[in-house]
């Protein structure tokens, strides 16, 4: 199959596309891909690192301001129209069998252009609350795929809605824990807690970790790995050293964890935001978690994501307003020092996972491509 992927802004909008691409190659080894993103997000670098043969093209687009009369919104409409025209030129040249959108503003012009050209289209909604771009696109695309069971009704104008889970989960299934331990210089018996704040890092989590660092010696059997996010690394690492006197022996501070699937496969507990890809990763591996939803997202969708798992007992939801180093440390200790609780959380986390998600998306792609060919 010839597939165009579009999604951008954060890693959470890119990794599901790559997982679908990997599954396409497994099922259809002659598949060809094109990625259309923005030049300002993380997608260009992530796609380049993926190892997939996937050329990259850029379309520039921004989101709407909440104030409808804003001059910026007029500029956004103009960028959208220009983006549609640019996307159409890419699509006509590549001649895809289908176009897949995995989130972010860039999907708007790309998927709209594809629908207007009569190309089969699929949008994947990763969150429990639908984003503005996907709500707009749902009335035009062939299929909307959702990540959470029972959320099919959030797209009342869609032609077809299917539950697939998040394809990022599939990428985690074969993650090699031994390579994760080795990359961190740890032995396979290490009890690992991974703390991150999403692909770009999170200031609030970093602040809490500065406060927590002097306490980690109180859990001597636990190894902490903390990804600050590249922009925060130097200042956060320095503050941790100052707060703890020196970086504790059971704490590694890194700017970014490039082999996240392998590191997560090695972990016993994850502390993170509650983005869609994070949810897919931890449930695919059945890892207990402490989720700290970002309050700075549309419709507070991360809290809805987090509570979908904590309500089932697979995680603890800790709101940012309640976050501190001591509170976070206490929550970590309660899980890591209680094997019965850890086992229950791991079991409940795994029950929420959809490990064959990418295969389900590819099956749907096969159907819409076949239907599109019959109509021609």
Q: Which residues are annotated as a binding site for UDP-N-acetyl-alpha-D-glucosamine?
A: 10-12, 127, 199, 257, 302
What b/e sequence results for 283-308 when a residue is b if at least 16 CB atoms lie within 10 Å of its CB, and e otherwise?
bbbbbbbbbbbbeebeeebbbbbbbb
User: What is the sign, positive or negative, of the torsion defined by CA atoms of 110, 58, 278, 275?
Assistant: negative
Taking residue 318's Cβ as centre, other Cβ atoms within 10 Å add up to: 20
Residue set of the binding site? 10-12, 127, 199, 257, 302
Instruction: Return all residues near 13 (Cβ < 8 A) that are at least 6 apart.
Output: 7, 41, 43, 102, 103, 104, 126
- The beta strand positions in the chain, using DSSP E, are 2-6, 32-37, 56-58, 98-101, 121-125, 143-146, 161-163, 191-196, 222-227, 251-254, 269-272, 289-291, 315-317
Instruction: Return all residues near 186 (Cβ < 8 A) that are at least 6 apart.
Output: 192, 223, 266
Q: How far apart, in whole angstroms, are the C-alpha atoms of residue 124 and residue 115?
A: 15
Tell me the two tokens of residue 114: 């594809």
């Amino acid at each position: 199959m010839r597939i165009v992927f579009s999604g951008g802004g954060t890693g959470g909008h890119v990794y599901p596309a790559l997982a679908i691409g990997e599954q396409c190659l497994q099922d259809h080894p002659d598949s060809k891909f094109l990625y259309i993103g923005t030049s300002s997000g993380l997608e260009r670098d992530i796609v380049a690192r993926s190892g997939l043969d996937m050329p990259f093209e850029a379309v520039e687009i921004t989101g709407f301001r909440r104030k409808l009369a804003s001059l910026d919104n007029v500029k956004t409409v103009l960028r959208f129209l220009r983006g549609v025209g640019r996307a159409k030129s890419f699509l006509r040249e590549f001649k895809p069998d289908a176009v897949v959108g995995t989130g972010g503003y860039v999907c708007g012009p790309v998927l709209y252009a594809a629908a207007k050209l009569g190309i089969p289209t699929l949008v994947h909604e990763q969150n429990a609350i639908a984003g503005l771009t996907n709500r707009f696109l749902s009335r035009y695309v062939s299929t909307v795929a959702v990540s959470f069971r029972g959320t099919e009704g959030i797209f009342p104008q869609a032609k077809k809605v299917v539950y697939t889970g998040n394809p990022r989960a599939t990428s985690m299934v074969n993650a090699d824990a031994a390579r994760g331990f080795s990359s961190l210089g740890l032995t396979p018996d290490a009890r690992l807690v991974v703390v991150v704040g999403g692909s770009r890092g999170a200031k609030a989590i970093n602040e809490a970790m500065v406060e927590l660092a002097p306490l980690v010696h109180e859990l001597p059997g636990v190894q902490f790995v903390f990804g600050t996010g590249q922009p925060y690394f130097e200042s956060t690492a320095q503050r941790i050293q100052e707060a703890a006197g020196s970086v504790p022996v059971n704490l590694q501070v890194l700017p970014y964890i490039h082999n996240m699937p392998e590191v997560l496969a090695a972990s016993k507990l994850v502390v993170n935001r509650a983005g869609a890809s994070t949810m897919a990763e931890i449930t695919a591996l059945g890892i207990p978690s402490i989720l700290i939803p970002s309050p700075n997202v549309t419709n507070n969708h991360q809290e809805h994501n987090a509570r979908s798992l904590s309500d089932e007992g697979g995680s603890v939801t800790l709101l940012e307003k309640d976050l501190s180093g001591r509170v976070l440390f206490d929550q970590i200790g309660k899980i890591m020092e209680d094997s019965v609780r850890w086992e229950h959380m791991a079991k409940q986390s795994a029950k929420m996972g959809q490990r064959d998600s990418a295969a389900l998306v590819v099956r749907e792609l096969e159907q819409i491509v076949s239907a599109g060919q019959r109509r021609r």
